[in-house]
Amino acid sequence: MTEGPRVSVTVVYAEPARLFEVALRLPPGATVRHAIEASRVQETRPDIEISADHIGIFSRKATFDTPLRDGDRVEIYRPLKIDPKEARRLRAKTQS
């Protein structure tokens, strides 16, 4: 049996000390949601929360329904520990 055309993508979730990365071949028309489900990241890493606000493709915001193209890198982002504006204020305060 011959396999039809497929889309090659990678799903990643990075932390300072470890990396989850899975390469996948999905059918044409697959979405970010399909890639995340096929990667089984939720089974491997049940401690992470995947939400629409924390996903992207090559550092650009994406939705669960974003169609994938060959070579895409689906990224699951960690929530921020501190608001970037607050972090700048704290740095400025300590440098004064």
pLDDT higher than 60, residue 2: no
Beta bridge partners of 24: 9
pLDDT higher than 70, residue 70: yes
User: What sign for the dihedral angle of Cα 13, 18, 23, 24?
Assistant: negative
pLDDT higher than 60, residue 92: yes
**What's the confidence (pLDDT) of residue 3?**
64
Other C-beta atoms within 10 Å of 62: how many?
18
Q: Domains of the chain, with CATH numbers?
A: 7-95 (3.10.20.30)
**Lowest model confidence (mean pLDDT) among 57-66, 67-76, 79-88:** 79-88
Q: Which residue has the higher pLDDT, 48 or 36?
A: 36
Instruction: Give yes or no for a contact between 25 and 46, defined as CB atoms under 8 angstroms apart.
Output: no
The whole-angstrom separation of Cα 51 and Cα 79 is 10
